[in-house]
């Protein structure tokens, strides 16, 4: 069974406004050298999916810069490869005025040409805010064996704090037949099987439901398609047991990033056999650790200059940490400059932020102190 991929680059931008003000959710930096789109894109490439469409909306210049021709994912191909799908004006508001899409269903309606021109058997859908390293070949085989119309990848989440307010709870029987879906509301439950928003859909079925949705004016994929067809169509749940994290807020981004300091999490994400996570290659000098520098339990990318103390931090490429500075429990994005004798705790800086000498900045795990792109403090 052959497959093509479709990635939503802007879905849920509103959940992380601090980091999506100048970029899409897909191009939010993560883990020292990656972007969030690297995970769904690598999952697809590692599963032999070589035709991938990326649906854009706005603020996608950094996404274009990151993906380029797709050569870093072996997708610079004459046939297939990666295609960035611009936000066609195909949705209409209540007054009939043309507008850009607002929902997942409208986004897919806008790329019907891409879907109809695919000759693959199934389409794999994925968001960018779900971080995991999954072998999609297993999901596609399960989809084929079960004869499903839609297979939703689910994950058992055992903490209410780990369930995003916009996630969908999926209930299925022991054979994987989905009999109920419900949008999560706070306090609904402390443990649930949630949708990762990774789905495998038979292409002919996807075309049919999109045409039906267009004819009836539907806009919401789960409410108006999945819910209405449970019991009539063959919907299956594929239970995923590997590492999974969902980013739904700045505190969630902080927690997910800090979890990378756990070797077990790093191994689950980045050291799976034959399932590497690929990203744009940037040739930088090795990081320089000057006399007096001290680094403890941190992830530090290349091209940095460390003169101070760094503990429990994620440091991206090209960061400069001045002498006498102490940084704890923080995330410093690319090319951040930190002066001398600075104290930082639970701080997130966007790219090119500048922190002048002798500043003392502190946040909390539940509300990290954020410094925007190019801001000087």
Query: Which sequence spans correspond to the domains of the chain?
Result: 3-270, 288-371
- In angstroms, the first-to-last Cα distance of the chain is 55
**Cβ–Cβ under 8 Å, residues 86 and 75:** no
115-124, 152-161, 182-191, 355-364: least confidently modelled range = 182-191
Give the model's confidence band at 160: pLDDT under 50 very low, under 70 low, under 90 confident, else very high. low
pLDDT attached to residue 330: 98
Q: For residue 172, is pLDDT > 60?
A: yes
User: CA triplet 371, 376, 377: central angle to 5 degrees?
Assistant: 75
Q: How confident is the model at residue 189 (pLDDT cuts 50, 70, 90)?
A: low
Could you tell me which CATH number the domain at 3-270 has? Answer: 3.90.550.10
Q: Which of 92-106, 246-260, 279-293 has the lowest mean pLDDT?
A: 92-106
**pLDDT tens, residue by residue, 329-346:** 999 999 999 999 999 999
Question: Which neighbouring-strand residues pair with 152?
Answer: 199, 237
pLDDT tier at 283, thresholds 50, 70, 90: confident
What's the pLDDT score for residue 214? 87
Would you state the pLDDT for residue 271? 92
Please compute the mean of the pLDDT values over residues 25-45 and round it to a whole number.
96
Tell me which architecture the domain covering 288-371 has in CATH: 3 Solenoid (2.160)
Angle at 270 between CA 44 and CA 133, to 5 degrees: 35
Confidence label for 129 from pLDDT (cuts 50, 70 and 90): confident
Following DSSP, what letter does each residue of 243-306 receive, concatenated?
-EEE--SHHHHHHHHHGGGSHHHHHHHH--TT-PPP------PPPEE-TT-EEES-EE-TT-EE
Q: Supply the pLDDT for residue 211.
A: 93
Asked if the model's pLDDT at residue 93 lies above 90, the reply is no
In the predicted model, what is the mean pLDDT of the chain? Answer: 91
CA separation for the pair 238, 268 (Å, rounded): 19
Does pLDDT of 351 surpass 70?
yes
CA torsion sign for 42, 76, 104, 211 is negative
Asked if residue 161 has pLDDT above 60, the reply is no
Q: What is the mean pLDDT of residues 112-116?
A: 92
Mean pLDDT of 48-53: 96
Using CA atoms, how far apart are residues 62 and 54, in angstroms rounded to an integer?
Answer: 14
Using the predicted structure, report yes or no on whether residue 356 has a pLDDT greater than 60: yes
Q: Which pTM does this prediction carry?
A: 0.93
The answer to whether 290 and 306 are in contact (CB under 8 A) is yes
Mean pLDDT, rounded, for 247-255: 92
Check if the beta carbon of residue 15 is closer than 8 Å to that of residue 248: yes
The values of phi and psi at residue 302, to 5°, are -80, 165
Report pLDDT for 99.
62
Provide the CB-side half-sphere exposure for 109 (13 A, CA): 25
- Which region among 40-44, 108-112, 176-180 has the lowest average model confidence (pLDDT)? 108-112
pLDDT level of residue 94 (50, 70, 90 thresholds) = very low
Q: Please provide the DSSP assignment of 204-215 as one string.
A: HHHHHHHHHHHH
How much is the pLDDT for 159? 61
Has residue 314 got a pLDDT over 50?
A: yes
**Residue 78 contacts by C-beta under 8 Å, 6 or more apart in sequence?**
none
Chain centroid to CA 99: how far? 25
Q: Report CA-CA distances (Å) from 235 to 3, 106, 210, 238.
A: 18, 21, 16, 10
Residue 96 pLDDT level (bands cut at 50, 70, 90): low
pLDDT, position 35? 96
């Amino acid at each position: 069974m052959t497959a093509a991929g479709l990635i939503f680059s802007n879905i849920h931008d509103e959940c992380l406004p601090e980091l999506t003000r100048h970029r899409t959710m897909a191009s939010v930096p993560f883990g020292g050298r990656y972007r969030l789109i690297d995970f769904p894109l690598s999952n697809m490439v590692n599963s032999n999916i070589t035709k991938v469409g990326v649906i854009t909306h706005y603020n996608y210049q950094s996404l274009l810069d990151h993906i380029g021709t797709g050569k870093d994912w072996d997708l610079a191909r004459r046939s297939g490869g990666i295609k960035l799908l611009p936000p066609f004006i195909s949705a209409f508001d209540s007054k009939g005025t043309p507008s850009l899409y607002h929902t997942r269903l409208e986004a897919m309606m806008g790329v019907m040409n891409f879907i109809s021109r695919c000759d693959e058997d199934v389409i794999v859908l994925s968001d960018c805010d779900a971080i995991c390293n999954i072998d999609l070949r297993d999901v596609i085989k399960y989809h084929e064996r079960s004869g499903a119309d839609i297979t939703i990848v689910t994950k058992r989440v055992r903490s209410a704090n780990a369930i995003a307010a916009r996630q969908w709870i999926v209930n299925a029987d022991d054979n994987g037949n989905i009999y109920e879906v419900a949008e999560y509301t706070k306090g609904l439950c402390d443990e649930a099987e949630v949708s990762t928003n990774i789905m495998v859909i038979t292409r002919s079925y996807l075309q049919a439901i999109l045409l039906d949705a267009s004819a009836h004016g539907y806009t919401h994929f789960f409410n108006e398609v999945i819910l209405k067809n449970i019991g009539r169509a063959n919907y299956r749940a594929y239970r995923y047991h590997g590492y999974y994290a969902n980013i739904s807020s700045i505190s969630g981004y902080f927690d997910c990033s800090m979890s990378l300091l756990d070797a077990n999490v790093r191994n689950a994400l980045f050291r799976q056999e034959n399932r590497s996570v690929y990203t744009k290659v940037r040739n930088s000098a090795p990081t320089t650790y000057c006399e007096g520098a001290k680094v403890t339990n941190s992830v530090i990318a290349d091209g940095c200059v460390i003169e101070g103390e760094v503990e429990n931090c994620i440091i991206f490429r090209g960061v400069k940490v001045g002498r006498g500075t102490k940084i704890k429990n923080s995330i410093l994005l690319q090319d951040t400059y930190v002066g001398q004798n600075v104290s930082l705790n639970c701080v997130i800086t966007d790219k090119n932020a500048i922190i002048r000498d002798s500043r003392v900045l502190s946040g909390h795990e539940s509300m990290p102190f954020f410094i925007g792109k190019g801001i000087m403090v």
